[in-house]
Amino acid sequence: MGANAYITKPFSKDYLVARIEQLLNERKLFQERVWQSTQEPQLEDNYEQFLVKKDVQFIEKIHQVIEENLENSDFNIDTIASTIGLSRSAFFKKLKGLTGFAPVDLVKEIRLNKSIELIKSSDMTITEIAFAVGFKDSGYFSKCFRKKYNQSPREYLTEWRKIK
């Protein structure tokens, strides 16, 4: 019927809270598993993995659409949703349920991951990288980068060059 759990009456408040926490933890683990599967797909052929495989294919399709439009700073969620063939709200709910990311956050995550690749593999300036991955403002790019990686893009670049 689609239920993940049920509790028979009478029940205690502590039991209800514990059950909800368990369900939330299971959902978080599932989201992490789906997200990791898109990074390193290694799925077996059983029913559970088939369901996850469909979800992974959905996420991979989204990644592909984002990658194809990475440099377009005007790229938005409606573009992804229409390409995938879902309404904006259905797309948002499915993506949030699978990954824990809102669509805007997923796009930002992919852009920041791509910026790391560019820092490591190109001689572009930080500003050029920011624009290449679709940020309109290099200051905002630096702020998002620092939030994710706990250092500025310049600090990351300097550290990378020392290691290299």
Residue 144 has pLDDT above 90, yes or no: yes
- Residue 123: CB atoms within 10 Å: 6
Both tokens assigned to 144: 């998002």
Q: What is the pLDDT of residues 94-107, one digit of tens each?
A: 888 888 888 888 88
pLDDT confidence tier of residue 1, bands split at 50, 70 and 90: low
Give residue 43's pLDDT: 47
Both tokens assigned to 19: 């059950």
Give residue 101's pLDDT: 82
Give residue 40's pLDDT: 58
- Look at the block and give the residue holding tokens 């239920």: 3
Handedness of CA 83, 88, 94, 96 (dihedral sign): positive
Residue 117 has pLDDT above 60, yes or no: yes
DSSP 29-44: HHHHHHHHHHHS----
What is the mean predicted confidence (pLDDT) over 76-97? 85
Higher pLDDT, 76 or 4: 76
Cα 128 from Cα 138, distance rounded (Å): 8
Q: Tell me what the pLDDT averaged over the chain comes to.
A: 82
Higher pLDDT, 25 or 142: 142
Beta-carbon contacts of residue 6 (< 8 Å; ≥ 6 apart): none
Residue type, 155: E
Per-domain residue ranges for the chain? 13-100, 107-163
Phi, psi of 114 (to 5 degrees): -65, -35
* pTM, 2 dp: 0.67
Say which CATH topology domain 107-163 has: Arc Repressor Mutant, subunit A (1.10.10)
Residue 39: HSE in the Cβ half-sphere, 13 Å Cα cutoff: 10
